[in-house]
Structure formats: C-alpha cells, structure tokens
Structure 1
Amino acid sequence: MTEAERITLACLDLAGTTVSDSDLAETAFNEALGSLGIVAGTAAHDRAMAHIRESRGHSKIEVFRRLFPADEARARAANLSFEQSYDAAVDRFGLTPVPGAESTLERLAGAGVRVCVITGLSRRNLGRVLDTLDWWDRVDLALCPEDGGRGRPWPDLVLTAALKFRVDDVRHIAVCGDTAADMLAGRRAGASLVVGVLTGAHPRDLLHQAGATHVVDSIADLPLPTPALPH
C-alpha cells in the first residue's frame, strides 16, 4: 500500500453494514406510513415503500420530505413516528452486530485507523443503537445528519470526520456501506477505498453503479491494513 493509499480513517455505516438490520428499519417505515393512514395493501403504500427502498442510506427526514414534498408538517410527523417505532423495535427485538463486525473494529484500532460510524438515523436512534450494542468505546466518532451539512449521498459527514481527525489527504479515507448512497458519499468525498457489502439493502450491481471500488460479502472482508508486526 502506497503512502497515498494509506488508510487512517474508516467511515462505516451502521444498519446493514456493521449492525444486522433484521428489518427493523422496514418495520419502522411501515409503522410511520400507517400513522399517516398509508396502509399496507394499497397502491399508495406500495409507491411509498418503493421510494423508501430506493432511498435507503439517506437521511430519514429527507426520505420523508421527498415523499411529501409539499407538506413539511406531514414529513416531520412521519419522521417522528419512524424514530419512535425504531426505538420500540430495538427494545422488542434487540440488535446484533453483523458477524465479523466487532473483530473488524478491533483490527482497525490495532492498525491505528480511526473509526467513525455514519448513519441516516437521527441522533436519538443512533444513540439507542450504540447504547444497545455497548459500542461507544469501540468507535472514535458517531455522526448523523443532525451533526450538520447534508446526509448521504452527499460527502458532508465523511468530510466532517476527516476534519475532526485532521486527515492529511482524502485518499487516506475508507468508506464502507450497504447502499448506493454510501458509495456515492464515499466517491464524492474523495475516499480511495469505497467498499460495498452484501449484508444490507442494495445488490452488487447497484453498489458498483454507484461507484464502489470493491464489493465484498460482509464487513469481515473489509480490505484494510492489519497491525504491523513488532520489530
């Protein structure tokens, strides 16, 4: 690995990448739509869920704003319902890491790579995920759209992490996620390593089309450095 390719910061997605989603987000989206009278089995529900699935990885409030472009109050009501439903689903079903995720976090730490988790969830839901997994000490930074700028597919949160850790060169950044939005954010931020995983929302071809430099089966296969051997 050349100096230009040396990875010092890894920006990792949560649900579907490091955390097994187990349809929690899908359940919360369905319940949020239901709270607005958009119920399963209707054409309106089918259209809304198609939009939501295409938009996985985006900020949740922005997903609802695109769904209800002329009604900010309705978008905010749907987003609040999603947040409440997601927290309740975590309470009911719990969360588990994707197999190999925790060992990958350990490998990154051992190699001196700073780890930032990035999500389209709200700060409230992000906190619930990290509390449930007891991951606060496993990551160096956790960012969501409420931390400023735009959420994915824009590069803002990746670049926020780069500024936080004083990354010398954006080519020293790795981005890993399960959605096209993750891939776009990584490419737009200039990351040299943009890795799609097949444990979440989007298939291999869509990840490649969005700019993945690698597509691997899971976070356990993340092509990052191992700790240097002692001299």
Structure 2
Amino acid sequence: MTVACLDLAGTTVSDGDNVRTAFAEAIATLGIVSGTAAYGRALARFHESRGGSKIAIFRSLFDEDRAQAANLAFERSYDDLVDRRGLTPVPGADDALLRIRAAGIRVCLLTGFGRSTQARIIDALGWWDRVDLTLCPADVPRGRPWPDLVLTAALRLGADDVRQIAVCGDTANDMLTGRRSGASIVAGVLTGAHDRDHLLTAGATHILPSVAALTDLILPAPVDDTVTADHR
C-alpha cells in the first residue's frame, strides 16, 4: 500500500449521534419536525445517504435555496455539538494513523462534511500532523459515492497504481467510492452508521471491528530475522 484514504465520523472519529442530531436540528429550521411523515422520510434518506456530501443530501430533499439554508444550519448545529460535547477518536485510531504514516504510507482523511466542519474536527483532535492530505466534497466535481475523492487523493499524493490504495469507512457510500476508484482494499468498519450486511452489499472487501485493525491488514508483516542454529 502507498496511500490510505480514511473517513472521519464513525470511522476515525467517534460520532455518537452528533451527525444525526445536527441533521434533525437543521431540517427543523425548515419546519420539518419529529412525528411528521416528512421527518420520517428525511431521516430515512439521511441514513441511506450517510457518508455522502451533506449538501447533496439536502439538495435531494429541498430546492437549492432551502438546501443551502439547511446545510448552513447543519454546520452550525454540528459545531455547537462539538463545543458542548467535545470529540474523541475511535479507540485505536490515533495509533493507527501514526503507525500507517510511520510505515511510509500516505494518509488522506476524507469526509462528506463541508471544509469548515472538517477543519473544525481536525483542529479539535489535533490531527494536522497525523495526515498528509484532507479532502471534502468542495475539492472534487462529485462527492461520494463517486470515486473522485479517492482518485484526487491518488493524484495529489503521487500514487503509482490505484491498486496500492486502501479505503476505510463506515458507510455504504465509502465502500462504493473505494470500489469505483479501483482500490484493492475497501475495508468497512463496524463503529459507525452501517452494519456488516450493508457494507458487504456495497462492495466491502474486508469487514473490521474498527479502524484499529486496519494496520494489521495494510502494513507489511514484520520480518523474522532470527536464525535457528544448526546443532549437528
């Protein structure tokens, strides 16, 4: 492997219900509240679209002006939740980032969040020195499930072959992005939005309990240089 593309919320960052809460608060600003049929439909769309561009999700629900208003409300709500609740890495994620980079594999953090929210998360975790590149939907023509984010990471990080890329995420959209990009490892983790069946159906090549297990999958095995004596 030469490049590892890792998702944020639910994969490397413990999400809890922050994203769902921010989404519910955002659509509430447009009058869509809990208990209504419109709320149920919107939450179903949100769950199925996890991992995708947040503005794209809102555009699938509303006209452009309302989508932009909802997206702005989402970002404000999420930022407020980060301020009140804080953020923590998925257990083992920080060590995984360090080990992957120490092995010479370049790390890109991908997200469906907007740029300011992505930066807010990385600031909160102090991860700027853990990664080589960060990408969000604003950096590419098409967000997930299209392959653009992974292929852009390959270009910017100088990958020689897409088969030398590993993708890791917690949603079906993460898996689709990885498979469409040609990455040879597309690992789904069980710490986020979608379950094993959802991830496998979307094309996961591996299912891991968490991103902490990714290192064993992509790092070269240690060489045993011990020599057994010949006691003839």
TM-score scaled by length of structure 1: 0.94
Mapped contact 1:57–1:152 kept (Cα < 8 A): yes
**Is the counterpart of residue 30 in structure 1 residue 24 in structure 2?**
yes
Q: Which structure 2 residues correspond to residues 207-226 of structure 1 after superposition, within 5 A?
A: 207-222=199-214, 223-226=217-220
**CA–CA distance in 2 between the matches of 1:25 and 1:101?**
19
Change in Cα spacing, 1:230 to 1:140, as seen in structure 2 (3 Å) is farther
Q: Paired residue for 1:81?
A: 73
**CA–CA distance in 2 between the matches of 1:72 and 1:162?**
31
Candidates 85, 96, 109, aligned match of 1:93: 85
Please state how far the C-alpha of 1:224 moved relative to its aligned partner. Answer: 1.3
**Is the counterpart of residue 16 in structure 1 residue 10 in structure 2?**
yes
Q: Which structure 2 residues correspond to residues 49-64 of structure 1 after superposition, within 5 A?
A: 49-64=43-58
Change in Cα spacing, 1:230 to 1:167, as seen in structure 2 (3 Å) is farther
| SS of equivalent residue, structure 2 residue 129 | coil
Q: Paired residue for 2:149?
A: 157
Candidates 118, 130, 140, aligned match of 1:148: 140
What letter corresponds to residue 152 of structure 1 in structure 2?
R
1:184-212 residue CA offsets vs partner (Å, 9 max, x unmatched): 00000000000000000000001001000
Moved over 3 A (4+): 226-231
What letter corresponds to residue 28 of structure 2 in structure 1?
G
1:156-203 residue CA offsets vs partner (Å, 9 max, x unmatched): 010001001111100000000000000000000000000000000000
Mapped contact 1:122–1:145 kept (Cα < 8 A): yes
Candidates 85, 105, 113, aligned match of 1:113: 105
**CA–CA distance in 2 between the matches of 1:149 and 1:23?**
29
What letter corresponds to residue 12 of structure 1 in structure 2?
L
Structure 1 portions without partners, runs of 5+: 1-6
1:119-154 residue CA offsets vs partner (Å, 9 max, x unmatched): 000001001000000001111111000112211101
Q: Paired residue for 1:176?
A: 168
Q: Paired residue for 1:103?
A: 95
Structure 2 portions without partners, runs of 5+: 226-232
RMSD of aligned residue pairs (Cα, Å): 1.3
Q: Paired residue for 2:59?
A: 65
What letter corresponds to residue 161 of structure 1 in structure 2?
A
Identical aligned residues as a percent: 64
**Is the counterpart of residue 132 in structure 1 residue 124 in structure 2?**
yes
| SS of equivalent residue, structure 1 residue 41 | coil
| SS of equivalent residue, structure 1 residue 152 | coil
